[in-house]
Structure 1
Amino acid sequence: MLTPRVQQKWEKPRHCVVKVNCDGAWNVQTMKGGYGWVIRDFVGMLQAGGNEDMRYGSALIVEVDAIRATVVACQQGGFSHIIVESDSLSAIQMVKRDSVVDVEVEGLLFDIHVVTRELQEVTFMYAPRSCNTAAHEVATFVYRNGGLFWWDFIPPEWLFNTLACEANVSVRL
């Protein structure tokens, strides 16, 4: 029996497809959370963003909201062929309808499915943290700094090296 290959590092999408990595950050004491995402094509970064200053009841809600925000960002950006990667296996399984849906995320899942019907090709995939580093850094930054963030084409310096490393580019700042 063949064991499925588990991705160990971020992989570029094929031509004409964008890959969106997303992640959530949540604090159980304050119930505050936020999320971050990075949209990249086969060459490199196109956009990144995130939002914070919201109250969530669990880490799962933040992770599913991160997925919702990524598909909305792709729709608004005019991308119709996307791969969405998250390091939350349970969130990905619920989005793909591979597991029982937790009632606390049912509304977010509905939103995700409505938006994805407007896109031509959407694939949801689990990616271990080692493949989701850039999105994790964005989520952490957004959570710590608060507010709504959006970067087009030129990432902030603190994110540049992670993106270059993941894309196997040797340029460093």
Structure 2
Amino acid sequence: MDFEHCRMGYGWILRDAAGVVKGAATSTVQGIYSVREAEAIGAREALSWIKNKGWSQVVLETDAQVVTNAMVAYQNFTPFGMIIAEVRGLLKHLPLVRFVFTKRNANVSAHLLAKYALCNSGEG
């Protein structure tokens, strides 16, 4: 999160079944949200990227367990719940995409990309 410029950075990496990197992307979103909302927005951004690329069989791994749990568990009419509803809507268009939790130490590269997104977004 970049509090000075009121924005958040995101990054994700696409690997094949053997773990070979096939692509990477970054994004910035204006605004500062709670951590769980920011994590849900990151999932939404990654799914939008996957959908725009036309990929159908993908496993989306996130270290945000609260987001992973919310995808399965409940409806919530807070801003977080509304973002989760958007993520669920994207997943309806991507029926072969799986959404799974992974530990943070397995997601270090994506976090580095998110920091890179903030450094290279053309602001500041």
**Bucket of the pairwise TM-score, normalised by the shorter protein:** 0.7 to 0.9
> Identity over the aligned pairs, expressed in percent?
20
Deviation at 1:90, TM superposition (A): 0.8
Cα distance in 2 for partners of 1:27, 1:61 equals 15
The corresponding residue for 1:60 is: 36
Deviation at 1:109, TM superposition (A): 1.7
Cα distance in 2 for partners of 1:55, 1:107 equals 16
Q: How many residues align?
A: 121
Deviation at 1:143, TM superposition (A): 2.2
Match of 1:40 among 3, 15, 18: 15
Cα distance in 1 for partners of 2:113, 2:91 equals 23
Instruction: Structure 2: give runs of 5+ residues left out of the alignment.
Output: none
Q: Which has the larger radius of gyration?
A: 1
Match of 1:108 among 59, 78, 83: 83
Give the structure, 1 or 2, with the largest relative contact order (CA under 8 Å, sep 6 or more). 2
Q: Which moved more, 1:132-141 or 1:120-129?
A: 120-129
Q: Say if 1:73 and 1:39 are closer, same or farther in 2 by CA, change over 3 A.
A: same
Contact kept, 8 Å, 1:28 with 1:58, in 2: the verdict is no
Structure number with the higher helix fraction is 2
- Structural mapping, 1:60-79, within 5 Å: 60-79=36-55
TM-score, with normalisation over the residues of structure 2? 0.82
TM-score, with normalisation over the residues of structure 1? 0.61
Please state if 1:51 is matched with 2:27. yes
Cα distance in 2 for partners of 1:102, 1:86 equals 22
The corresponding residue for 2:112 is: 137
RMSD of aligned Cα (Å): 2.2
